Chain A
Amino acid sequence: MARCGVGMRSRSAACRFWVVGLLAAVALSGCVRGRDDGHGKAHAASTHRDASPSRLIITGSSTLAPLVAEIARRFEQLHPDVRIEVQTGGSSRGIRDVSTGAADIAMVSRDLDESERDLTAIPIARDGVCLLIHKNNPVTSLTDEQVIGIYTGKIRHWEEVGGLPQPIVVVSKAAGRATLEVFCQYFRLREDQIRADIIIGDNQEGLKAVANHTGAIGYVSLGAAEYEAQRGLPIKLLPSRGVPATTDRLADGSFPISRTLNLVTRGEPSGWASRFISYCCSEHVHDLVEAFFFVPVVR
């Protein structure tokens, strides 16, 4: 009997907890929504800008954002009276924000097209993607058609492209990764045409997967692959259209699987935007560019 009574009491107490907890949760989630839902930042930020003129808002590509954020931190240390906000949301969002004036600078990880003539693009770095196989794989090069065949599942054995009699283990990247985008764009593949055996997240996992399987083929950021290969990881970087996969070839623009990472403004940049962009192009940030496995653009 007594036990029953205790049970009832604790139940009503528990009930009270939940009601109060629910109220708290509603209030808290209200806060979260009010603050930001991840995509509406630029509009809130643009009102800030009016209040304080030395504030730069940069939005766009998630490939560039980490690098630009690091550069911005350094720039802010040099110029304490300017605040830089870096937000992601994709290249298209960057272009939209710059066109509407919601952002001062857009980060765009592709070249501008015809309809975007009113904008100015300044390249700050190049990003390359190279194919890699295991070091013990005797294959030394693959044509673009062979790569497409392998990645769409039409070529399944290394013998078919002049290698050893073993199955090909296709390593690809998870959706949303910039490397996957560059790869698909260059080989004119759609993401859903790729038949992968192993899907990996970052470059390190890709390098590891290829180093662990003699039959594997993968693609990662060229800078990262070159760095690891020099440090003795058993991988081989494949040339593309006869051009060896090296950061030098990427820097001089001859390596084909690459893209330019741009900062974009409406019209010619001026004021702080102009100063920040020249800083991004200067030698002071080359160490940061290389730390993100990009290649600095030398003008």
Chain B
Amino acid sequence: MIWWKRSSSSLLSVRGCRRFVDRLLGGAGLLSALLGASLVIWMLGFVLVESWPALQQIGPLRFLTDTAWYPTLGRFGMWPMVVATVVVTIGSVVVTTPVALGSAVYLRFYAPPVLAGLYRRVLWVLAGVPSVVYGWWGITALVPMIGRFSPFGFGHSLLAGVLVLSIMTLPLAALTVDTALGAVPRDYLAAAAALGLGRRAVAWQVAVPLAWRGVLAGVLLQTARAIGETMAVLMVCGNVVQLPVSLFAPVRLLTANIALEMGYATQLHRSALFVSGLWLLVLAAVLVWAAQRLERECT
């Protein structure tokens, strides 16, 4: 600022310089935006092009109507995997959301500041742990534990998938909700307290409803991560292609399907795996659409 005032004698050249910098920054911004957009569209185009042979030769309907998934034998039933993906994702959201909300409210309104700071740092670390580590923990600790209760005698199951995903997505969800609660103007909270509301009422009836959009964002973020998660679910879900008939039954998710068979698939089988990818894109699109609907109705 000082520099700008001092050189006001050569106003014109400074203005020219600023305009140039502006243009440069604008151009760089445009370029990176273009790069981002074209990468997304390229990927979409790529998945479409790669899955085209399967869609054309097998037909999109057979991915739903075929009774089983034996791609090397020409049977391409993908429906159980779509259902399993949706069920596991919803399951993990149902488990995570209340816990994330509860822990964020505790952090903001109940915890002593030192403990809150420490806890927040732990959450950051947990949020950064790679999914394969959670998967490893799942397969060595969680799966044997579930195996003890399971009527089938082994722990690779829908339940294991839901729990591992929940634990994975919890830190990030709790942090997002915590940030949303922190963004509620202090005046509102002070006013509510001045009106004689207790801590519980301030937290649950003033802060949480005000932070609703942030909470929603946290939930959606974790849903998106849950849908896209591959390694952890591949390791603990058992990967049998069947409708999720029981919490203890093994299931295969769309992401795991791609990861399991990609390296060895050829021709139509390979193309059918790209259809799994297409399904995931459809699920993600539905999620975004639902999020926008929800947000519009909330505001």
Q: Which residues of chain A have C-beta atoms less than 8 A from B50's C-beta?
A: 37
Instruction: Answer yes or no: A231 CB below 8 A from chain B CBs.
Output: no
Q: Which of B33, B34, B37, B239 contacts A199 (CB 8 A)?
A: B239
Give complex CA distance A174, B139 in Å.
18
Q: Which of B45, B73, B235 contacts A29 (CB 8 A)?
A: B45
Instruction: Answer yes or no: B71 CB below 8 A from chain A CBs.
Output: yes
Indicate if the CB atoms of A198 and B154 lie closer than 8 Å: yes
Contact flags (1/0) for B111-148 with A, using CB distance below 8 Å?
Answer: 00000000000000000000000000001100110010
B229-262, CB < 8 A from A: 234-235, 238-241, 250, 252, 259-261
Q: Which residues of chain B have C-beta atoms less than 8 A from A28's C-beta?
A: 38, 42, 45
B49, closest chain A residue (CB):
A29
Instruction: Answer yes or no: A227 CB below 8 A from chain B CBs.
Output: no
Q: Which residues of chain B have C-beta atoms less than 8 A from A136's C-beta?
A: none
Instruction: Answer yes or no: A186 CB below 8 A from chain B CBs.
Output: no
Distance to closest chain A CB from B135 (angstroms) = 11
| Size band of the interface chain B makes with A | 35 or more
Give complex CA distance A37, B259 in Å.
19
What is the number of residues of chain A that contact chain B, defined by CB distance less than 8 Å?
44
Known: A198-B238, A201-B260. A29 touches B156 (CB 8 A): no
Q: Which residues of A contact B (CB under 8 A)?
A: 17-18, 20-22, 24-26, 28-29, 32-33, 37-39, 62, 88-90, 93, 166-167, 169, 174-178, 190-192, 196-201, 205, 208-209, 212-213, 215-216
Instruction: Answer yes or no: B20 CB below 8 A from chain A CBs.
Output: no
Indicate if the CB atoms of A21 and B70 lie closer than 8 Å: no
Known: A197-B238, A200-B239. A21 touches B40 (CB 8 A): yes
Instruction: Answer yes or no: B267 CB below 8 A from chain A CBs.
Output: yes
Q: Which residues of chain B have C-beta atoms less than 8 A from A208's C-beta?
A: 139
Distance to closest chain B CB from A114 (angstroms) = 24
B249-288, CB < 8 A from A: 250, 252, 259-261, 263-267, 269-270
Instruction: Answer yes or no: B152 CB below 8 A from chain A CBs.
Output: yes
Give complex CA distance A205, B237 in Å.
12
Instruction: Answer yes or no: B41 CB below 8 A from chain A CBs.
Output: yes
Known: A17-B37, A201-B259, A215-B153. A177 touches B42 (CB 8 A): no
Q: Which residues of chain A have C-beta atoms less than 8 A from B73's C-beta?
A: 190-192
Indicate if the CB atoms of A178 and B264 lie closer than 8 Å: yes
Q: Which residues of chain B have C-beta atoms less than 8 A from A209's C-beta?
A: 156
A sample of 27 inter-chain contacts (CB < 8 A) reads A18-B41, A20-B38, A24-B38, A24-B42, A25-B41, A26-B45, A29-B42, A37-B50, A38-B270, A88-B266, A169-B153, A169-B154, A174-B261, A175-B72, A175-B261, A175-B264, A178-B264, A191-B70, A197-B238, A198-B238, A198-B239, A199-B239, A205-B235, A212-B139, A212-B143, A212-B144, A213-B153
